[in-house]
Chains A and B, each alone.
Chain A
């Protein structure tokens, strides 16, 4: 079953194939590019800490960090060779990553696309875990966790999420903790694998330099149809609208204090969250983007520097807006941003600023459609949220003051904000 999704504006199209194995294929050949970029992604991430299938009676609680742990372990197979060794024969550059709600295996290559794709589809469908290999990985990931414990940017981010959320597992570090990963064993990994690495729960996205027929051929050859369709029920969390705490502080070896100011938004469904993300990005620009009065005011007062930025985080069942940067006085910055938001909520949005920030956002999205890795990433995100990938441009172009004003009160509610600060260590 094939469907073509087109963008006239960009002169680009995606072919969507529903493969008999249950897997969805999203294919975007891009003329002129040397690189092909492929991601094989499952809708399974660090927030999936509790789940059951139709065969289970009860929800299974799994250790924090297990999705990320599983990602690491997938690279090994039964004859002791890892997937990197197989990619070594094709020259592809391979990697994988785990986010809050996804685990992606990817490669990029300029030659030997077919062989590289075979490696990808093969190893992700062949789990192999033993007691020994799990123990070894606990050492490696333990080091990774330690590395992140020293990372000011990482800490200030997860401290913020911990302050914004009371129960939702988005507040937990993606890699878990040294303690939590020590509870992981091979059986648990198999259980997670067989639940979430079901092809119906996955998507293969390819962008750049490749032939559609090559993908179809490899898919027919290597995709093993799922024995049955698994129905996954994921844990839900009673997350109050209020934040956990308004302020969280830590000290680390950093030069200038790092801060993140977050606003807890109202989550709807995955598709609405993703669409709203675009609108909220325009708003963050209006509030404190480089073209705003507030930005100049803070910059000229020496309160922020060029690291200042904003990010909107949208997931299946969480949604928040974050302003972050370095500052000598993070509390003052937080206060100024909140005052500006209140002012805008009271006085209304300026028509010219709305136009300018829409244009800037439009230009930014155009840029994403011209990079193979960004296109592959967008295809996966929009697939899981069930949104048309090219819809973003229309959302930006069509954003009205009325819609933006509504979003301003929901997504930037100053009574639902938290401030995270990482201070430098005391001098001594």
Chain B
């Protein structure tokens, strides 16, 4: 049986949502803990899921836990931190094959739900604190994670640009936190963060897959019923909608290919109609292989290997990033702005608009084919206080006109230009 998105309240600030479809062979259950991004708490929060993932009261041994997971046909327990606008989201999820596809029709789904629930709420404590050994290890790994963000230069440059752009706002707070704070993590501080998360986070549990979510729902309902809760409420984000003067920052590093990132603000978005218009504008500008940036900056002028624009629905920011040779920076910069002007002036064809719409619809309609994409989609919906199915959004795009796109482009202002480049010799 197939069911579209359903969400219900389990207890104070704890929601359970599910999307199920027979076509899948796996189930994925994720618990998302939503917290305000705050420089003082972000680092201790960030270490918590990684400590929890190491075990639970009845099974404090990591190897035993992993063997239990193997027994559940290689179910995987994973966690990560993400950022939705001004919120830090800690997620811990378990992904496993459905009962139907085991060799002896074993019960997997319920066991997965129970294990996740124990990891979250029935932790192993030593003298009332999360185990010292795990805290110390995970603290070091968190420091490594923060440091290793430098490894992927494209993502590093994008993040750096966003941070410069939103300096002083909670949006600029790093999702994994800061090295100097990570060094100060102790069992006591991590335990305090854990307790605070349980008490104050908005909790969104998502069940996506082909199994029956009811048993899982009961597991979490019961588990959370004994947790004392004073949950935060999620507010709509406000950040500057228009840039003042352009900020320019250049960093030097040992790289052979430079990265140019330009951060734009997209103006006030007051309705879904305007939202769809700005989404379409960004896609036409640099979101598809037929976009202006791909066609002109990459293909026609051969200025770079990649050049793309992305609009973030949570913040209303549009980031353009490209990998260029140092000497081509100015040319690429000029051409990117030139292409934005082209859109503002309406010098694009109806075919381009149609193609953009088709490409966007294609990716929207494909969301329902992947557990991860479904989950991500509905988390974004919950975070923005909407409840729109991917198919509905696809249909709504049909109503975006050329004039809407022009109007959306005219509201775009350049805020920050970030350039990551090699040292002298290149």
A-side residues, CB < 8 A to B, are 9-10, 30-35, 82, 84-85, 87-94, 108-112, 136, 139-140, 143-144, 146-147, 149-150, 152-153, 208, 252-256, 258, 289-293, 295-296, 299-300, 302, 305-306, 326, 356-357, 359-364, 366-367, 369-372, 397, 425
For residue A9, which residues in chain B have a CB less than 8 angstroms away from its CB? 101
Name the residue on A nearest B75 (C-beta).
Answer: A363
Q: A356–B133 contact, CB under 8 A?
A: no
- CB contact under 8 A between A367 and B70, given known A147-B323, A255-B147, A296-B62: no
Q: B363–A93 contact, CB under 8 A?
A: yes
Name the residue on B nearest A307 (C-beta).
Answer: B148
Using C-beta atoms within 8 Å of the partner chain, give the interface range for chain B: 35 or more
Q: B137–A302 contact, CB under 8 A?
A: yes
- Rounded to whole Å, the gap between the CB of A70 and the closest CB of chain B is 17
- Binding stretch for chain A, among B218-226, B296-304, B308-316, B410-418: B296-304
Instruction: Report how many A-B pairs have Cβ atoms within 8 Å.
Output: 177
Q: A147–B362 contact, CB under 8 A?
A: no
Q: B26–A143 contact, CB under 8 A?
A: no
Starting from the known contacts A370-B23, A371-B370, 9 additional A-B residue pairs (CB-CB under 8 Å) come to: A34-B365, A88-B288, A89-B354, A91-B357, A147-B257, A254-B150, A296-B62, A361-B74, A366-B97
Within the assembled complex, what's the spacing in Å between the Cα atoms of A143 and B328?
12
For residue A254, which residues in chain B have a CB less than 8 angstroms away from its CB? 148, 150-151
Q: B63–A150 contact, CB under 8 A?
A: no
Within the assembled complex, what's the spacing in Å between the Cα atoms of A296 and B305?
41
Within the assembled complex, what's the spacing in Å between the Cα atoms of A149 and B255?
9
Interface residues of B in 58-75 (CB under 8 A from A): 62-63, 66-67, 69-75
Name the residue on B nearest A362 (C-beta).
Answer: B73
Task: Determine whether B96 belongs to the interface, using a CB cutoff of 8 Å to chain A.
Answer: yes
Q: A290–B21 contact, CB under 8 A?
A: no
> Can you list 16 A-B pairs with a CB-CB distance of less than 8 A?
A30-B23, A84-B290, A93-B359, A140-B298, A144-B305, A146-B256, A153-B151, A253-B150, A289-B70, A305-B144, A356-B70, A356-B71, A362-B103, A363-B72, A366-B97, A367-B97
Among B67, B69, B133, B288: residue with most chain A CB under 10 A: B67
For residue B323, which residues in chain A have a CB less than 8 angstroms away from its CB? 143, 147
Within the assembled complex, what's the spacing in Å between the Cα atoms of A296 and B63?
6
Q: A111–B365 contact, CB under 8 A?
A: yes
Task: Determine whether B7 belongs to the interface, using a CB cutoff of 8 Å to chain A.
Answer: no
Within the assembled complex, what's the spacing in Å between the Cα atoms of A79 and B279?
32
- Rounded to whole Å, the gap between the CB of B249 and the closest CB of chain A is 18
Within the assembled complex, what's the spacing in Å between the Cα atoms of A302 and B69?
22
Task: Determine whether B368 belongs to the interface, using a CB cutoff of 8 Å to chain A.
Answer: yes
For residue A84, which residues in chain B have a CB less than 8 angstroms away from its CB? 289-290, 294
- CB contact under 8 A between A366 and B255, given known A88-B290, A143-B305, A255-B150: no
B-side residues, CB < 8 A to A, are 2, 21-26, 62-63, 66-67, 69-75, 96-97, 101, 103, 133, 137, 140-141, 144-145, 147-151, 153, 253-257, 288-290, 294, 298-299, 302, 304-305, 323-325, 351, 354-355, 357-359, 361-363, 365-366, 368-370
Q: A305–B141 contact, CB under 8 A?
A: yes
Q: A88–B254 contact, CB under 8 A?
A: no
Within the assembled complex, what's the spacing in Å between the Cα atoms of A382 and B254?
42
Q: B302–A88 contact, CB under 8 A?
A: no
Q: A150–B255 contact, CB under 8 A?
A: yes
For residue B21, which residues in chain A have a CB less than 8 angstroms away from its CB? 32
Name the residue on B nearest A136 (C-beta).
Answer: B302
- Rounded to whole Å, the gap between the CB of A189 and the closest CB of chain B is 18
For residue A253, which residues in chain B have a CB less than 8 angstroms away from its CB? 150, 153, 253-255
Q: A92–B73 contact, CB under 8 A?
A: no
- CB contact under 8 A between A149 and B256, given known A91-B358, A367-B26: yes
Contact with A32, one of B22, B149, B151, B299 (Cβ below 8 angstroms): B22
Name the residue on A nearest B154 (C-beta).
Answer: A147
Within the assembled complex, what's the spacing in Å between the Cα atoms of A94 and B294?
14
Name the residue on A nearest B96 (C-beta).
Answer: A363
Q: A33–B70 contact, CB under 8 A?
A: no
